[in-house]
Amino acid sequence: MDNLIKSAGKFVFKTLILLIVFSAMLEGIARLPWPTEGIPPLSKGNYSLLDIKFSRIEDYAQENNGVDAIIFGSSLAHTGLDPEIIERIFQQETGQKLRVFNFGVNGISLPPATSLIEIVTQTYNPSLIIHVTEMRDYHPQTGMGMAGRVADDPWLRYKLGKPSPWGWVIDHSMAIQRYLSFRFWAREDFPSWYALLERRLIDITPWGYEPDRHVDDRINEPPNPNEKKDQHILETYKNYQVDPKRIGFLETILHQPDRKVIILGMPVHPTTVEYFGNPQEDYQEFLTTVEETARTHGGKFIATANLTIPDEGYANKFHLNQSGAPIFSEFLAKELVHLYNSGWYQPSSSNMRGRRTNTFLTGSLPTVLLATPTPSRKLASARVKWSLSSLSMALI
């Protein structure tokens, strides 16, 4: 009996040793320099567009020695603002370099945006936050699916300082992150899905912006209550009111003692107000409440009611396309020049602000193991063109 117990103990001990050695080998392989072509970025197992954004901002920060301004918001920001244009105009007008990255993510509403902003700003320490917003952000039903997704995600919970053993493992193991990058290979629709991703993800620039090529040829038509999509929007916002809880999330975004915050109104098409029960009253309530909140908390609210975007500049009533985004980007650049000339904002390129404060992709792992700096737009796009993300789906 004693011999049996000893044999069992030796077997368990040897098995544990083999598992440890095997795990160490996998971790070592995962930390080797990997080719950039055909390999998806490291993944945290959450909303897959975030994997792309995390990969791109890491490359951008390494190549530019930091980030001054980060744009946050939903898909409206993602396809609506081109930081490359903003940087160029700002430098032409002021002689100062402004490092700007677009961290807009499809489906992100105010509740999850607060968590995302906290995580990203703690890592990259920008001196300016620009949050793109519009009327629907302040309705209690907007974006609740994504809010729950973020609240339940192990890695995001860990990065926010909440107990999450699996989140800790993800954050510290590059082998796990490599595995999570390929976790959807068994999907039945993977070939066609990947073909769509390959075609679209190549367009995402090193600044995090993706141009939208769609043009809405029915842009001036009023909402149709007989169409399913319009019917849902009309029903959701017929009794629109600014939710005090959403204003609380906005106040959280504005509460940045060590950095400036701009709340930027999205230039949606004029016909969008027709989705709301009391169009002009609801729009004015949105403008007044957000502007007063921003001013009270030391931020700046930039309205775009007087910005003219031609009809062909819209992908749909809420989103700009590749023709409208440059107009919006130029508008924002000139506003930033004005704030610079007035002394309200100064870029942080000349000091330690805007530089990476800790290792983001894998917690305590050395930065040299994480990503190769991207010297060109083509190479940066190649790094993520195999990413298991879907820009045609809000969630996986």
Distance from the first to the final alpha carbon of the chain:
53
Q: State the burial class of residue 83 (Cβ atoms within 10 Å of its Cβ: 0-12, 13-18, 19+).
A: buried
Count the neighbouring beta carbons within 10 Å of the beta carbon of residue 297. Answer: 16
Is residue 212 assigned to a domain?
yes
Give 137's pLDDT tier (boundaries 50, 70, 90). Answer: very high
pLDDT of residue 19: 72
Q: Is 51 within a domain?
A: yes
Residues found in the chain: 396
- pLDDT over 50 (residue 365): no
- Mean pLDDT along residues 77-84: 97
Predicted TM-score (pTM) of this structure:
0.80
Percent of the chain past pLDDT 70, that is, above it, reads 72
pLDDT classification of 245: cutoffs 50, 70, 90: very high
Residue 396 domain-assigned?
Answer: no
Q: Which of 195 and 210 is assigned the larger pLDDT?
A: 210
Q: Which of 3-7, 139-143, 326-330 has the highest mean pLDDT?
A: 326-330
CATH number for the domain harbouring residue 296: 3.40.50.1110
Half-sphere exposure of 349 (CA within 13 A, CB side): 11
Domain total in the chain: 2
Reading across the β-sheet that carries 300-302, which strands appear in turn?
100-102, 69-72, 128-133, 260-265, 300-302
Check whether residue 259 and residue 331 sit in a common domain.
Answer: yes
Q: What is the mean pLDDT of residues 189-218?
A: 81
Mean pLDDT throughout 351-364?
A: 50
Whether residue 170 is found in the same domain as residue 69: yes
pLDDT higher than 60, residue 396: no
Task: Give a yes or no: residue 93 inside a domain.
Answer: yes
**C-alpha–C-alpha distance, residues 40 and 388, integer Å:** 7
Q: Is the pLDDT of residue 199 over 80?
A: no
Whether residues 12 and 73 fall in one domain: no
Asked if residue 394 belongs to a domain, the reply is: no
For residue range 2-30, list pLDDT tens digits in order: 666 767 767 677 677 877 776 676 667 66
Co-location of 4 and 77 in the same domain = no
pLDDT digits (tens, 9 = 90+) for 155-176: 777 777 777 776 777 777 877 7
pLDDT of residue 205: 94
Give the separation between CA 182 and CA 126, rounded to whole angstroms: 31
- Of 34-43, 126-135, 203-212, 319-328, minimum mean pLDDT range: 34-43
Output the average pLDDT for the chain: 81
Label residue 395 by pLDDT band (50, 70, 90): very low
Tokens of 337: 């020049």
Is residue 25 domain-shared with residue 132, that is, in the same domain?
A: no
Domain annotation covers residue 203: yes
Residues 3 and 62 in one domain: no
Is the pLDDT reported for residue 44 higher than 90? no
**Measuring CA to CA, how many Å separate 110 from each of 1, 114, 238, 273, 286?**
64, 6, 20, 20, 14
Same domain, 46 and 103: yes
Report which of residues 142 and 279 the model is more confident about.
Answer: 279
**24 lies in the same domain as 118:** no
65/229: higher pLDDT: 65
Which of 300, 354, 329, 331 is closest to 208 using CA atoms? 329
Q: Between residues 115 and 100, which one has the greater pLDDT?
A: 100
**pLDDT at 357 (0 to 100):** 63
What pLDDT band is residue 351 in, cutting at 50, 70 and 90?
Answer: very low
Q: What is the pLDDT, as a whole number, of residue 381?
A: 39
Other CB atoms within 10 A of residue 312 CB: 12
Question: Of the ranges 21-25, 233-237, 338-342, which one carries the lowest mean pLDDT score?
Answer: 21-25
What percentage of residues in the chain have a pLDDT greater than 90? 50
Residue 78 pLDDT exceeds 90? yes
Whether 200 and 314 map to the same domain: the answer is yes
d(CA 173, CA 154): 14
Hey, which of 29-43, 144-158, 220-234 has the most confident mean pLDDT?
A: 220-234
User: Is the distance from CB of 89 to CB of 338 less than 8 angstroms?
Assistant: no
R_g of the chain computed on alpha carbons: 23
Q: Is the same domain home to 39 and 24?
A: no
Pair 173, 71 in one domain: yes
Q: Does a structural domain hold residue 393?
A: no
Q: Domain range spanning residue 21?
A: 1-30
116 and 178 housed in the same domain? yes
